[in-house]
A and B are shown apart, each in its own frame.
Chain A
Amino acid sequence: MLRFVKQHMETIVGVELYPMVSFLIFFTFFVGLIAYVIMMKKGYIKEVESLPLTEND
Chain B
Amino acid sequence: MEMEKFNYDNEIVRKFIIATVVFGIVGMLVGLTAALQLVIPELNAGLQWITFGRIRPLHTNAVIFAFVGNGIFAGVYYSMQRLLKTRMWSDLLSNINFWGWQLIILSAAITLPLGITTSKEYAELEWPIDIAIALIWVVFGLNMLMTIIKRRERHIYVAIWFYIATFVTVAILHIFNSFELPVTMLKSYSWYAGVQDALVQWWYGHNAVAFFLTTPYLGLMYYFVPKAANRPVYSYRLSIVHFWALIFIYIWAGPHHLLYTSLPDWAQSLGTVFSIMLIAPSWGGMLNGLLTLRGAWDKVRDSAVLKFMVVAITCYGMSTFEGPMLSLKNLNAISHFTDWTIAHVHIGGLGWNGFLTFGMLYFLIPKMWGTKLHSQRLANFHFWIGTLGIVFYAIPLYWAGFTQSLMWKEFTADGFLAYPNFLETVTQIIPMYAMRALGGTLYLIGVFVMVYNLMATAKSGSFMKNEEAEAPALAPKYKPHAGEYWHRALERKPMVLTILAVVAVSIGGLVEIVPTALVKSNIPTISSVKPYTPLELEGRDLYIREGCNNCHSQMIRPFRSETERYGEYSKAGEFVYDHPFLWGSKRTGPDLAREGGSKLRKPNSWHYNHFMDPRTMSPGSIMPPYPWFIEQDLDVSNTAAKINAMRTLGVPYPEGYEDQAVADLNAQAEEIAADLAQGGIEVAANREVIAIIAYLQRLGTDIENEGTEEVVSNP
Could you pull out 7 A-B pairs where Cβ atoms are within 8 angstroms?
Answer: A8-B264, A11-B714, A36-B485, A48-B491, A51-B157, A53-B232, A56-B470
Distance A48 CA – B485 CA, assembled complex (angstroms): 15
A11/B507 contact (C-beta < 8 A), A37-B241, A49-B232, A49-B233 known: no
State how many residues of chain B have any CB contact under 8 Å with chain A. Answer: 48
B222 to chain A, nearest CB (A): 8
Chain A residue nearest to B516 in the complex (CB) = A8
| Given A4-B266, A44-B488, A45-B236, A52-B226 contact (CB < 8 Å) | yes
**Given A12-B519, A51-B155, CB of A5 within 8 Å of CB of B265:** yes
A53 close to B227 (CB less than 8 A): yes
B471 contacts A29, C-beta separation under 8 Å:
no
Known contacts A29-B248, A57-B469: A52-B157 contact under CB 8 Å: yes
Residues in chain A near residue B248, CB distance under 8 A: 29
CB nearest neighbor in A for B233: A49
CA distance A5 to B240 in the complex (A): 33
* Residues on B with beta carbons closer than 8 Å to the beta carbon of A28: none
Q: Which of B158, B233, B467, B521 contacts A57 (CB 8 A)?
A: B467
Cβ–Cβ < 8 Å partners of B714 in chain A: 11
Given the known A-B contacts A5-B265, A57-B82, are A37 and B240 also in contact in the complex, defined by CB atoms under 8 Å? yes
Cβ–Cβ contact B232 & A34, under 8 A: no
Q: Measured between C-beta atoms, what is the minimum distance from B183 to chain A in Å?
A: 34
Residue B486 is within 8 A (CB to CB) of chain A in the complex = yes
For B237, give its contact among A29, A45, A50, A51 (CB under 8 Å).
A45
Main secondary structure of the interface of A (DSSP, over half): helix
Cα A38 to Cα B159 in complex, Å, equals 20
Bound complex: CA of A12 vs CA of B337, how far in Å?
34
Whether B479 sits at the interface, judged by CB under 8 Å, is: no
Known: A53-B226, A55-B85. A48 touches B241 (CB 8 A): no
A27: interface (CB < 8 Å):
no
Known A52-B226, A56-B469; further 13 A-B contacts with Cβ < 8 A? A4-B269, A29-B248, A37-B237, A37-B241, A44-B488, A48-B157, A49-B226, A52-B79, A52-B82, A52-B159, A52-B227, A53-B227, A57-B469
Cα–Cα distance between A8 and B511 once the two chains are bound (Å): 14
Which residues of A lie under 8 Å from residue B715 when comparing CB positions?
Answer: 11
| A residues in contact with B8, CB < 8 Å | 57
Complex contact A52–B223 (CB within 8 A): yes
A26 to B204, CA, bound (A): 22
Answer yes or no: B83 CB below 8 A from chain A CBs: yes
Q: Which residues of A contact B (CB under 8 A)?
A: 1, 4-5, 7-9, 11-12, 22, 25, 29-30, 33-34, 36-40, 44-45, 47-53, 55-57
Knowing A4-B265, A8-B266, A8-B522 touch, does A53 contact B240 (C-beta < 8 A)?
no
Closest Cβ–Cβ distance, residue B153 to chain A (whole Å):
7
Query: Do A25 and B488 touch across chains, with their CB atoms under 8 A apart?
Result: no
Which partner residue on chain A sits nearest B85 by CB separation?
A: A55
**Are A56 and B471 touching (Cβ within 8 A)?**
yes
Chain A residues whose CB sits within 8 angstroms of the CB of B485 once the complex forms: 36, 39-40
Selected from A7, A33, A51, the residue in CB contact (under 8 A) with B244 is: A33
Residue B245 at the chain A interface, CB threshold 8 Å: yes
Within 8 A of A (CB), among B345-363: none
- Bound together, the chains give a CA A37 to CA B470 distance in angstroms of 32
- B contact residues around A29 at 8 Å (CB): 244, 248
CB A57 to nearest CB in B, in angstroms, measures 6
Check: B515 CB closer than 8 A to any chain A CB: yes
User: Is A48's CB under 8 angstroms from B486's CB?
Assistant: no
User: Which listed residue (A1, A45, A48, A53) contacts B269, Cβ 8 A?
Assistant: A1
Smallest Cβ-Cβ distance to B368: which chain A residue: A57
Whether a CB of chain A sits under 8 angstroms from the CB of B230 is yes
Bound CA span A47–B16, Å = 31
The answer to the question of B301 belonging to the interface, with a C-beta cut-off of 8 Å to chain A, is: no
Task: Pick the residue among B79, B487, B522 that contacts A36 (CB under 8 A).
Answer: B487
Which residues of B sit under 8 angstroms from A33, Cβ to Cβ? 240-241, 244-245
Complex-state Cα separation, A12 to B487, whole angstroms: 37
Residues in A with CB closer than 8 Å to B241 are 33-34, 37
Flag if A11 contacts B269 (CB, 8 Å): no
Residues of chain A within 8 A (CB-CB) of B223 are 52
Residues in chain A near residue B244, CB distance under 8 A: 29, 33
Q: Are A48 and B83 in contact (CB under 8 A)?
A: no
CA distance A7 to B524 in the complex (A): 13
Bound complex: CA A50 to CA B488 (Å): 16
- Whether B269 pairs with A50 at a CB distance below 8 angstroms is no
The answer for the CA separation of A11 and B227 in the assembled complex, in Å, is 55
Chain A residues contacting B230 (CB-CB under 8 Å) are 53
Nearest Cβ distance between residue B385 and chain A, in whole angstroms? 30
Please, how many angstroms separate the alpha-carbon atoms of A33 and B266 in the complex? 28
- CB-based closest 5 A-B pairs: A4-B265, A49-B232, A5-B266, A49-B236, A51-B157
Chain B residue numbers with a CB within 8 Å of A34 are 241
| Binary per-residue interface labels of chain B (145-161) against chain A in the complex, 1 for a CB within 8 Å, 0 otherwise | 00000000101011100
Give Cα A49 to B158, complex, Å. 9
Chain A residue numbers with a CB within 8 Å of B488 are 40, 44
**Cα–Cα distance between A34 and B284 once the two chains are bound (Å):** 13
When A37-B240, A50-B232 are in contact, do A12 and B515 touch as well, CB less than 8 Å?
yes
A43–chain B nearest beta-carbon distance, Å: 10
